[in-house]
A = this chain, B = another copy of it.
Amino acid sequence: MSWQPNRRSDNTLQQQIVQWITANVERGDWAAGTKLPTQRQLAMQFDVNRSTVQQALEELKAMGILEAKVGSGVYVTHNSWHALIQQTQPNWQTYIETSIHKPNYHTIQLINEYEQRDDVIRLGTGELAPCLLPTKEIEASLRELTFQSKALGYSSPQGNDHLRKAICKYVQKRGITAEPQNVCIVSGALQALQLIAVGLLEQGSIVFQEPTSYLNSVHPFQSVGMQMISIDRDEQLAQTLTQRKRKKQAVFYAIPTLHNPTGHVWTGREKEQLYEACQASRIPIIEDDVYHELLFEETSPPIKAMDNSGQVLYIGSVSKTLSPGLRIGWLIGPTTVIERLADIKMQTDYGSSAISQEIVLHWLQSGKYEKHLAGLRQQLQERADFTEQLLMEKFTEVANWSKPKGGFYIWLKFHEPLVDKDFFMKLLQQQILINPGYIYDPHDHHHIRLSYAYATFEELQEGLRILHECVVAAMGRKSK
């Protein structure tokens, strides 16, 4: 949607807007039932006065192409087609509304949308800043790659053999013993969850998770009818799991190392407790370990390292460390499970990009990956220190937080429950994009996931200044 009216046209701005919207509806591009952006947004896009937009919309309503729904907005009418030409088109809006997969939360759609813009300060992004990505080094490594003649064909179901071997060697350093047949290459950790959701769980199965969870911000399980149960880990865990599982199938989803979004790192004892509790209740564990390379200090081995009964499905990825654009991750588990999930991956997308797989193989084998990680950890540590310094200067009276142990995030807790959609939108109007806590726990209005991995130092400074203003203003509103 980058169109703008032409100021040198013979037609008025209003006429041009009416024609443009009509054309969008006419060629079926804006289907019946599509909700239009707000007048404010349209005025911004078209770079015209809001009154011009208002008049254009009135004209379109009079033509029967648009209709207003009180308190909700302006929509393309369901009979807009009759207003235009005597033709029918599929009722796409109904198709969309009744289909299986849930849409992203509106807040997350806005985050996805605004993350594309250059004029926004991204304070919550789960992604390395462009300057932290080894773009030049990846370009250079492309110049070294040579492919065997079969490399660019369809992949084998579990992915590139050499890459799977290299991954086995790599995870051995984390204490994990795996053979290539225990590995399935996936297009990132999210796809691994998707495959587990449709390939291992019957409908209505239970997914146990911590109360604050990355899984609440995506829907791999919910969208296929699984039931999410948030659970506190405590002494009674085994008993609680067995009780709440009832007769259903279940899995436990955990991020024991640099938890997203809280940044929490489990102790070795905590990992053991979960493993034992899940073993006692025969519940498999999904261990999401995509941040571990970014630990500032050594920690205990992952749960998978203590797994001697094929109970843990382990997920790794290069998205948080090397490049999310490669779309390469891995899933490690019993052969029986891996073969099943690879079979479904073949039915889903016929495998991950062969070129991306070759690049990751090259980075693992050449030692470039671990060298890159060492430098990256240092840069993240500097950014974490800088950000904490800013917080110490301004935020001690309104919020508290734990010192980050690695990764991207500070889980910033405001003393007041002021983080709601309104707060999110107010910051967005000032071109500050945050990841509010409520996308990870719907009941949480105290937290934001503050990322020091993406914004520049200047942006962090400016962004936190504006955030502070908004916090103070919100506290003022609350206290009135």
**Is A387 an interface position by the 8 A CB rule?**
no
Given contacts A91-B282, A152-B323, A198-B99, contact A31 B334 (CB under 8 A): yes
Collect the chain B residues with CB atoms within 8 Å of residue A24's CB. 335
The answer to whether A152 touches B325 (Cβ under 8 A) is yes
**Is A131 an interface position by the 8 A CB rule?**
yes
Residue among B29, B190, B310 making CB contact with A335, cutoff 8 Å? B29
The answer to whether A109 touches B154 (Cβ under 8 A) is no
The answer to whether B354 touches A326 (Cβ under 8 A) is yes
**Is A127 an interface position by the 8 A CB rule?**
yes
Collect the chain B residues with CB atoms within 8 Å of residue A340's CB. 96, 103
**Is A89 an interface position by the 8 A CB rule?**
yes
The answer to whether A201 touches B336 (Cβ under 8 A) is no
A168 CB, min distance to chain B CBs, angstroms? 13
Residue among B28, B197, B283, B336 making CB contact with A309, cutoff 8 Å? B28
Given contacts A88-B279, A139-B145, A347-B218, contact A96 B199 (CB under 8 A): yes
- Give the residues from 274 to 332 in chain A that come closer than 8 angstroms, CB to CB, to chain B: 279, 282-284, 307-311, 319, 323-327
Interface of chain A: mostly helix, strand, loop or mixed: loop
Residue among B116, B150, B179 making CB contact with A130, cutoff 8 Å? B150
The answer to whether B334 touches A353 (Cβ under 8 A) is no
| Copies of the protein in its oligomer | 2
CA distance A327 to B279 in the complex (A): 39
Residue among B27, B224, B336 making CB contact with A29, cutoff 8 Å? B336
The answer to whether A31 touches B337 (Cβ under 8 A) is yes
**Is A4 an interface position by the 8 A CB rule?**
no
Most buried by B among A96, A113, A157, A179: A96
0/1 string, A334-367, CB within 8 A of B gives 1:
1111001001101111111111100100000000
Collect the chain B residues with CB atoms within 8 Å of residue A166's CB. none
A372 CB, min distance to chain B CBs, angstroms? 13
**Is A138 an interface position by the 8 A CB rule?**
yes
The answer to whether B327 touches A351 (Cβ under 8 A) is yes
**Is A236 an interface position by the 8 A CB rule?**
no
The answer to whether B323 touches A153 (Cβ under 8 A) is yes
Collect the chain B residues with CB atoms within 8 Å of residue A115's CB. 154, 156
Pick the interface stretch among A5-13, A180-188, A376-384, A464-472.
A180-188
CA distance A324 to B350 in the complex (A): 9
The answer to whether A334 touches B92 (Cβ under 8 A) is yes
Residue among B95, B311, B355 making CB contact with A200, cutoff 8 Å? B95
CA distance A158 to B215 in the complex (A): 22
A389 CB, min distance to chain B CBs, angstroms? 26
**Is A416 an interface position by the 8 A CB rule?**
no
- Give the residues from 140 to 199 in chain A that come closer than 8 angstroms, CB to CB, to chain B: 142-143, 145-147, 149-157, 177, 179, 181-182, 187-188, 190-191, 194, 197-199
A230 CB, min distance to chain B CBs, angstroms? 20
Residue among B151, B182, B337, B344 making CB contact with A92, cutoff 8 Å? B337
CA distance A201 to B96 in the complex (A): 7
The answer to whether A27 touches B88 (Cβ under 8 A) is no
CA distance A344 to B138 in the complex (A): 29
Collect the chain B residues with CB atoms within 8 Å of residue A203's CB. 100
Residue among B128, B147, B347 making CB contact with A101, cutoff 8 Å? B347
The closest CB in chain B to the CB of A354 belongs to: B325
Most buried by B among A135, A181, A353: A353
Question: 17 pairs across A/B with beta carbons < 8 Å?
Answer: A27-B310, A29-B335, A89-B311, A90-B311, A92-B200, A95-B337, A100-B203, A113-B157, A130-B149, A135-B152, A142-B145, A153-B323, A194-B348, A220-B347, A325-B353, A353-B356, A356-B356
Nearest first, the 7 closest Cβ-Cβ pairs linking A and B are A28-B310, A325-B354, A353-B353, A130-B149, A98-B202, A152-B325, A152-B323
